[in-house]
Amino acid sequence: MVGNSENTASYLHKLGNNRLGLWLFLISDGFVFAGLFITRFYLMGNSRPELEQGVGLIVTIVLLISSFFMNRGETYMKHGNVKGFLFNTTITLVLGILFLVGVVGVEWQIAPFGPSDGAQGAVFYVMTGFHAFHVLTGVIFLLIILNNGRKGVYTRERHWGVEACAIYWHFIDVVWIFFYPALYLIGVAAH
């Protein structure tokens, strides 16, 4: 909790540093995802994993909509509207969990191949697994800020936790924006 004695200038200075720190972290995390992305093309070339298009499209839509609500929640908080923040961030949480159910609970179960089934298996499970793990940590992050929000920790002027969670959540979305076509749309489905 931010102490009242801290003046605004000092808070804003820290805020600038916090943002930089978060972005640097995301860039380094991004390198890992980029490596996986490139590996997918190196290992499978113009071939792609054999997957259900319907499931892929649905989970993608779910994640994109979750980003919309995350943005909404953060915007409400930016204007000091805690109720709006809680409502929209809760929807984000629900959609995030839905995404995990869709990928791990559905797609992983119905995929006609396992993690050790050649390039297809390695590429698909590592990419979606690593991404899903990030979604899971994002979900935990959301739970934390929702709880804090309920307790009145965040204000219009000071809500770095909310901003950080939102940026992290959108980052996960950006990764999927590239992973989705790479796994589901580009290339000829392997048999």
The contact set with other proteins (CB under 8 A) reads: 9, 12-13, 15-16, 19-20, 23, 46, 57, 60-61, 64-65, 67-68, 70-72, 75-79, 81, 156-160, 163, 166-167, 170-171, 173-174, 177-178, 180-182, 184-188
Helix (H, G, I), strand (E, B) or coil at 47: strand
Cβ atoms of residues 55 and 111 within 8 Å: no
Least distance CB 178 / other proteins (angstroms)? 5
Least distance CB 145 / other proteins (angstroms)? 14
Least distance CB 43 / other proteins (angstroms)? 15
Tokens of 134: 């990030």
Least distance CB 110 / other proteins (angstroms)? 20
Cβ atoms of residues 88 and 76 within 8 Å: yes
Stretch (H or E) spanning 28? helix 8-44
Q: How many CB atoms lie within 10 A of CB 1?
A: 8
Query: Between β-strands 188-189 and 47-48, what pairing exists: parallel, antiparallel or unpaired?
Result: parallel
Taking the least distance from each CB to other proteins, the nearer of 101 and 185 is 185
Q: Compute the CA torsion angle 38, 30, 91, 99 (nearest 10 deg).
A: 30
Cβ atoms of residues 142 and 93 within 8 Å: yes
Least distance CB 138 / other proteins (angstroms)? 13
Taking the least distance from each CB to other proteins, the nearer of 70 and 122 is 70
Stretch (H or E) spanning 189? strand 188-189
